[in-house]
Chain A
């Protein structure tokens, strides 16, 4: 059995008349944190949305744990243990923090049925989630919303976390908090695919890295190698990062 949890082979995606992904090949090793980097418009978000089935691949194959998920509807992909945090965080602003968490806990009908030990672990990672438990999520700050979005993704054990630019617009202190949290998640054995533009954030967390440009993967390898090679960084990422 391959030790890659997720693989994309020659994935093409069209959005209306636009051809966005031009044959993406990507492997996400099990239990590791893979960073997907690239400038704006390179196709990172489209790649994540295609993995989630929110946009359908027009060609190519996506497998999760060896199973072909290319044509599966989004709810079924999520039910296979994939949690998605979109770039806009996808917070339900009119619901409370508690209600947002309850929705993500598919196995629980009431908050009391959410695994308490896991909830306490989430509270230790993100104290703001506990502090504002009964408050409308729409009233949280940007950083608190991001914490809620990640908390929601991990409220139940998942095979794979797919997260789009978690550091975007956050203050440095909150970014450090996020790095700690993702470090703990990684240590717990969760596989993570994370889109990022902040290279300092990326190099502190990533085990492996893939760089996109013009809808293709133009580099893939160990994050350590990219972090140590400034010339390669410059050639792949330019000034965007």
Chain B
């Protein structure tokens, strides 16, 4: 028995996929550009999916309404960044960040507050019943989308990148978009904070234990219902943050954007293993890379490439790359 028996194989999947496609792409500069773009896209998807994997893993709640928090975050960002146009129009990156950071914080707070109400009135009555969860959370998302239309209107709203985040850095012939670098940094920060919380704090310990055996956590004297609410609110806030990042990535927002990203999120969760944060990161990076590589190599296959990826992973590990013990 080795106390450091880290399962490294899933960690090798991301570099393996990147190296495997290198000969097909041919140009190393194009490969670098595509790889950074894929990693950035993966990081944004991770931010969105990380909250849901905990909600799914800990609470056993199939929240198909998670997408509404993504859309909400993005729309809040349009309002905040719109109100800070002077800051976003500046060519200085630091001045831009003075607008983007408040947009992220406000989006997270609004998504968290709505998440609190969503858990109380929509999710709590259907704990333990998956069919009802699917139906009612999808219903909740539809209502949420309609409320977004009431507040912001039904049309697409542009969410342009702040001036300082436009353009690219160049590594030789490879172009690396500035915003994608920011996405990678934010994603890594979220991952680090989540990992630290989950592995270094007692709250994190409780969450990890609750994912495995909720009943035993209660038998030890902890009120897991409070933990459920906390995790749901944090998951919603992360989705709000992801919505800001995704909206800026797409440079426009529509009320249905959450529903569109939902499919990708569930693919990520299934690949990663329910409840596993590291698994969600690996799943998100694989999905991001796959979308970019196939978009370049075989554009017609881009739509279903992630489904094929998920099938391949499930054939290898039916519970996802990092299955938790239950």
Contact = CB atoms under 8 A, between A and B. Distances in A.
Contacts, number: 69
Nearest to B210: A92
B221 A92 contact: no
Nearest to B323: A94
Interface stretch (B17-25, B135-143, B145-153, B212-220): B212-220
A170 interface: no
Contacts of B223: 73, 75
B128 to A, nearest CB: 13
A93 B323 CA distance: 12
Interface stretch (B163-171, B182-190, B200-208): B200-208
Contacts of B3: 96, 134-136
Interface in B42-76: none
B309 to A, nearest CB: 25
Contacts of B222: 75, 106
A92 B216 contact: yes
Interface stretch (A14-22, A97-105, A211-219): A97-105
Contacts of A104: 220
Interface string A116-153: 00000000000000001011101100000000000010
Contacts of A52: 219
Nearest to B1: A139
A88 B219 CA distance: 13
A138 B3 CA distance: 11
B-side interface mostly = helix
Contact of B1 (A73, A94, A132, A152): A132
A31 interface: no
A74 B221 CA distance: 7
Nearest to A96: B3
A110 B216 CA distance: 20
Contacts of A138: 325
Contact of A95 (B5, B209, B224): B209
Contacts of B221: 75, 78-79, 106
Interface in A54-107: 54, 73-75, 78-79, 84, 86, 90, 92-96, 99, 102-104, 106
A54 B212 CA distance: 17
Interface of A: 52, 54, 73-75, 78-79, 84, 86, 90, 92-96, 99, 102-104, 106, 109-110, 132, 134-136, 138-139, 152
The 6 lowest CB-CB distance pairs between A and B, nearest first, are A78-B221, A93-B325, A90-B216, A74-B218, A84-B219, A92-B209
17 contacts: A54-B215, A54-B219, A75-B218, A75-B222, A78-B219, A79-B221, A90-B219, A92-B325, A96-B3, A102-B202, A103-B202, A103-B206, A104-B220, A106-B221, A110-B202, A136-B5, A152-B220
